[in-house]
A and B are shown apart, each in its own frame.
Chain A
Amino acid sequence: AQSVSQHNHHVILSEAASLELGCNYSYGGTVNLFWYVQYPGQHLQLLLKYFSGDPLVKGIKGFEAEFIKSKFSFNLRKPSVQWSDTAEYFCAYIRRYGGSQGNLIFGKGTKLSVKP
């Protein structure tokens, strides 16, 4: 079955700490990968995405993610978190096969709480 594993359910950090959220997906073929963020009381927003090319992708607000095909991973990183980064983060992917694609498959999410 298609799946996305996010290793941490809840991460608590102090401001200025470095962040790494793990994400692994289960499909062995071509994929597009995403991180979405949901701030408290707000809708899901795209943080960054990987389609092809440079496996290190930079997104908004200083976030970046690295696609490692051999590990089926797409971990999210930020060198120094801020209180305003408190949110829930969802990893997602789309399978690509032939000229078509599957649906967006989400992980269960990781809640990030940043202490001021």
Chain B
Amino acid sequence: GAGVSQSPRYKVAKRGQDVALRCDPISGHVSLFWYQQALGQGPEFLTYFQNEAQLDKSGLPSDRFFAERPEGSVSTLKIQRTQQEDSAVYLCASSLAVSGTANNEKLFFGSGTQLSVL
């Protein structure tokens, strides 16, 4: 597609429910990032994939958060047993190049999934 696509656009979950958020990066993009943006805050890094390999998951806030990119394209961020503090916009970004190279800094962001946990 023309850009990074995320679905669903909005998700309302009851506390304790599991959710899965999908990201379709730009075709051919090697790097994929997930960010969490709480209300009134800037995006905060969650995890990074280079193709199918999850090279950095240092930003995942707890073991309830899990991300995968099994075929090196589409990625899913799963949150188990959601809590109210998980309410945020979850942003996905992709980049053509491998992290650590100059071109990697050109990130293309999706519109995000707004998660509300009641």
* Alpha-carbon distance between A105 and B43 when the two chains are bound, in angstroms: 8
| Chief secondary structure at chain A's binding surface | strand
Q: How far is the CA of A34 from the CA of B104 in the complex (A)?
A: 13
B53 CB to closest chain A CB (Å) equals 16
Interface core residue of B91, B93, B105 (most chain A CB under 10 Å): B105
Interface size class of A (residues with CB under 8 A): 20 to 34
User: Is the pair A4, B111 in contact by a Cβ cutoff of 8 Å?
Assistant: no
Contacts of B111 in A (CB 8 A): 42-43
Q: Is the CB of A43 within 8 A of B3?
A: yes
Check B45 against A104 for contact (C-beta < 8 Å): yes
B107–A104 CB distance below 8 A: yes
Distance to closest chain B CB from A39 (angstroms): 11
Check if B59 is an interface residue, CB within 8 A of chain A.
yes
Least Cβ distance of A103 to chain B in Å?
4
Q: Is A51 an interface residue (CB 8 A)?
A: yes
A46 in the interface (beta carbon within 8 A): yes
* B binding-site residues for A, Cβ under 8 Å: 3-4, 33, 35, 40-45, 48, 56, 59, 91, 93, 99-100, 102, 104-107, 109-112
